[in-house]
Amino acid sequence: MGSLGLALSSMAAARPTPSLASFPSVPLSNNKYSASLHSSDSLETSRASFCLEISCHRRLPAELRWKMSAATRSGPVVAVAKPEPLKIIISGAPASGKGTQCELIKKKYGLVHIAAGDLLRAEIAAATENGKRAKEYMEKGMLVPDEIVVTMVKERLLQPDAQENGWLLDGYPRSLSQATALEDLGIRPDLFILLDVSEGILIERVVGRRLDPLTGKIYHLKYSPPENDEIAARLIQRFDDTEEKVKLRLKTHHQNVEAVLSIYKDVMLKVCFTVHTTIY
């Protein structure tokens, strides 16, 4: 696996972890390095491999692989031109395993993780006007209007830490208009990662989630049940984790994702997982 794989090998499961370098690579178009990676294994066993093998993937251009290698390099500074900080956008439906991948990628490449959802939740918690408006849409399982989030995302991407270290943008853009807004601002990723999981699996993951209001811990009724009856008795289902609302969210997601991909098709890496997993 090389130096890239060794760096996070301890994160892999005890049983053999499949290498995405060995999965069939299928071009999605005639663009310079769009590709699709398919795994018949679970995200639980291949999640670390996915993160580790991104920069080894043969369809990525040499310039991008150099950036990713430079982001993880340690030791004496060599007198060569420093590449621009790495910029990645990651996209996936609710419960697609995006949070797990963000954590791995952030640690591996030292990127600033910027989650549009966290920015929105901060506004909601502060009961700002934007936060109140956003909550109304979220409770209906709808996407929050562009004007509420575009300014927050832009300002965060332009802060010094993101400019110096590079960034991993999570959950944005979600529509063509949002992607176009970033393009108009001159904000474009080096790599757009799309996680693709079947809808039936996504619904099962979301509907089975439960929150412990006392500790904030998330459980899953099937994959990660509570430790005892006392905890089970106090678990609650979050307002947007019902089947009806998740289906609305998935419908909206699918309607918008193709439009977003039309902007990023030349820098896209699609990762497909097709079985049930323990990630929720």
CATH of domain 2-273: 3.40.50.300
CA atoms within 13 A on the CB side of 71: 28
Buried/exposed code over 219-238 (b: 16+ C-beta within 10 A; e: otherwise): bbbebbebeeeebeeebeee
Cis preceding-peptide flag for 173 (omega within 30 of 0): yes
What does the block give as tokens for 262? 């039309």
Distance, C-alpha 239 to centroid of its chain: 22
pLDDT tens per residue, range 60-70 = 666 666 566 66
What does the domain layout of the chain look like in residue ranges?
Answer: 2-273
Catalytic center residues: 98, 174, 209, 238, 249
pLDDT of residue 54: 54
Q: Rounded to whole angstroms, how far apart are CA atoms 64 and 40? A: 27
pLDDT of residue 9: 33
Give pLDDT, residue 75.
54
Give the pLDDT confidence of 105-126 residue by residue, as tens digits: 999 999 999 998 888 888 789 8
pLDDT-flagged residues of the chain (< 50): 1-49, 52, 55-56, 276-280
The pLDDT value recorded for residue 73 is: 58
